[in-house]
Structure 1
Amino acid sequence: MGDHLARGQDFESKAEKTLSGWGIFGSKYEEAADLFDKAANSYKLAKSWDQAGAVYVKLANCHLKLDSKHEAAGAYADAAHCYKKCNIKESASCLEQSVNLFLDIGRFNMAARYYKEIAELYEQEQNLEKATVYYEKAADLFQSEEVTTSANQCKQKVAQFAAQLEQYQKAVEIFEEIARYSLTNNLLKYGVKGHLLNAGICQLCKGDVVAITNALEKYQDLDPTFSGTRECKLLADLASAVDEEDITKFTSALKEFDSMTQLDAWKTTLLLRVKDHLKAKELEEDDLT
């Protein structure tokens, strides 16, 4: 490791000297870029990720001096992938630089991919607000490039986070939009009932029984096969339990569904909110009697 570190420092030092000297027609930037690239590789072999990241940023600057935006964008992305191992904030910052350059040169697909990566970094940090912003940016770009599957994956994340942040109407609209699109695609049809279930759970969180009933009717019109699914039965049973303010009925409907298809953590969290709301109402009524 020590050898790799020493070689990296040597290459970096030579690159810095090259930049401070004279050069003809940008040749010093080309020479320095080659040395920075070698330095970064040595630092990576030494697992000195912060030094590798910093050198890739210097490499990106050399490419910018040579007006090679594509290469500069790639170097910023390389920097981000090194920083990912030691400094999430720097990683996100370098990916943002990379995205801006890819947008400049019309490489929207690459920009979308890196927006998604930034979103994943913030998701990892549990910063749902920032993750949502970048998943939305990624979804818009993927959509503009007609990479609809990737766009929908990002939108699904936005909807999930919106619900976690109690923005239920926004979540409902996105899940319904994804369900509508999935109905037009034979490969995605199998997922429709899941998207409609997610939308329905968000409707339950809003606590408006009329809206839930109307939504169920709308979902059965949208997909005639939905009415025969366990997902539809679950939503109908839960809506009925909420309407009757019956916690026992609510719990047994969940248990029955969960015994066949395990509810994931996201659904469980939201359904617990609905159950807690029912409990609170029950307590209020007990206090009044």
Structure 2
Amino acid sequence: MGDHLVRGEEFEKNADKKLNGWGLFGSKYEDAADLLEKAANSYKLAKAWDKAGVTYVKMANCHLKSDSKHDAANAYAEAAKCYKKINTNEAASCLEQAVNIFCEIGRLGMAARYYKEIAEYYESDQNIDQAIAYFEKAAEFFQNEEVTTSANQCNLKVAQYAAQMEQYDKAIQIYEEIARQSLNNNLLKYGVKGHLLNAGICHLCKSDVVSISNALEKYQDLDPTFSGTRECKFLADIASVIDEEDVAKFTDVVKEFDSMTPLDSWKTTLLLRVKEKLKAKELEEDDLT
């Protein structure tokens, strides 16, 4: 490890000499960038991630000076990979620089990809507000580039986290829109009932029986096959249980559905919220009698 570190420092020192010396037609920046790339690779081998990140940023600046914008963006992306191991905010900041350059040179597909990556950095760091913001940006860019599948993936992340943060209307809007889009696509139409189920569960969290009933009618108009699905029956049964304010029945309906179609942790969390509200109502009724 020590050898790699020493070698990296040597390459970096030589790069600095190049930058401080004379060079024709910007060639000193190209030469320095080559040396900095070797320095960064040596730092990576030494697992000196901070040094590697700093070096890639210096390399990006050299590329910008010699007007090699694409190479500069790639250097920022490499810096982000190094910082990702030690500092999420720094990694996101470097990728943001890459995105700005890719937007400038019209590489919007790359910009979308890196916005999604920034979102994933924040997601792994449990910074959900920032994750949502960047998944939304990525979705918008993917949509502009007509990469619908990737746009949907990002929007589904936004819906997932919005619902977790009790922003149910926002989540419902996304799930319903993706269901609507998917109906006309042979590859995606099989996911429609799942999106409508997620939207329905968000409606349940609002504890508004009228809203749930209206939503179910709307979903059956949108997709006539939905009325015959287990998902539709489940939502209708839960709606009627909420109307009856029967916690025991609620548990039975959820258990039965889960035995046939296992619920993931997101659905389980939201359904537990519904159950807690139902319990609170039941206790209220008991206190009044």
Which TM-score bucket, shorter chain as reference?
over 0.9
Offset, 1:78: 0.4
Residue 173 of structure 1 aligns to a residue in which SS?
helix
Contact 2:136–2:158 (CA under 8 A) maintained in structure 1: yes
Partner residue of 1:284?
A: 284
Instruction: Give the number of equivalent residue pairs.
Output: 289
Offset, 1:248: 1.0
**Which amino acid in the other structure matches residue 15 of structure 1?**
A
**Which amino acid in the other structure matches residue 68 of structure 1?**
S
Q: For residues 121-154 of structure 1, what are the alpha-carbon distances to aligned partners after superposition, in whole Å with 9 as ceiling and x for unaligned? A: 1111111111110000000000000000000000
Question: 2:106 aligned with 1:132, yes or no?
Answer: no
Partner residue of 1:206?
A: 206
Cα distance between partner residues in 1 of 2:139 and 2:59:
30
Q: Percent identity?
A: 75
Cα distance between partner residues in 2 of 1:248 and 1:19:
74
Offset, 1:261: 1.6
- What is the correspondence of 1:52-67 to structure 2 with a 5 Å cutoff? 52-67=52-67
Partner residue of 1:258?
A: 258
**Which amino acid in the other structure matches residue 89 of structure 1?**
N
- What is the correspondence of 1:1-289 to structure 2 with a 5 Å cutoff? 1-289=1-289
**Which amino acid in the other structure matches residue 254 of structure 1?**
V
Cα distance between partner residues in 1 of 2:126 and 2:268:
18
**Which amino acid in the other structure matches residue 147 of structure 1?**
V
Cα distance between partner residues in 1 of 2:135 and 2:96:
13
**Which amino acid in the other structure matches residue 209 of structure 2?**
V
Cα distance between partner residues in 2 of 1:160 and 1:144:
22
Offset, 1:31: 0.9
Cα distance between partner residues in 1 of 2:69 and 2:116:
21
What is the aligned-residue RMSD (CA, Å)?
A: 0.8
Q: For residues 73-113 of structure 1, what are the alpha-carbon distances to aligned partners after superposition, in whole Å with 9 as ceiling and x for unaligned? A: 00000000111111111101101000011011111000000
Calculate the TM-score normalised by the size of structure 1: 0.98
Q: Where do 5+ consecutive residues of structure 2 fail to align? A: none
